[in-house]
Amino acid sequence: MALPLPTPNADSRPYWDAAQQGRLVVQHCAACGTVQAVPRGCCGNCQSPALEWRDSALRGTVASFSVVHRGPTAAFRNSTPYVLALIDVAGGVRLMLNIIGPGPDEVQIGEEVEITFEPRGEAGFQMPQARRITA
């Protein structure tokens, strides 16, 4: 069973379109300067609709994480264990991403990661993920 894919809506489509190009974008409010990671039709701080999509850094640090040993649906059964993490991305946003790669039991808070894009599904949809930067 294939892992689920997101269903973009009018607010999130620019985010997913950029991801298909290997870019991470976030919304910036032209009215108050707030940067927001969750796509919305207006600023979460001042409710202005004056939002701009800007490229974000592709590096960050692990703020928190959990190693998942039992996936939420049957589709995740062959993917466990996996790491679900809060990543503080350089530039001021926090994203929830999977940390992919070896060593799920070795992830540490404060560890640096790079944002990468993992092909998913038959069409090769690009899903943002984090990968540990190992020395």
57-135 folds as OB fold (Dihydrolipoamide Acetyltransferase, E2P) (2.40.50)
Instruction: Domain ranges for the chain, please list them.
Output: 10-56, 57-135
Least confident segment among 17-21, 26-30, 34-38, 119-123: 119-123
Q: What is the pLDDT of residue 76?
A: 87
- Cβ pair 38, 96 in contact under 8 A: no
36 within 8 A of 27, measured Cβ to Cβ: yes
Report pLDDT digits (tens) over 39-72.
999 999 999 999 999 999 999 999 999 999 998 9
pLDDT band at 7 (very low <50, low <70, confident <90, very high): very high
Cα 19 from Cα 115, distance rounded (Å): 11
Confidence at residue 135, expressed as pLDDT on a 0 to 100 scale: 57
Average pLDDT, the chain: 93
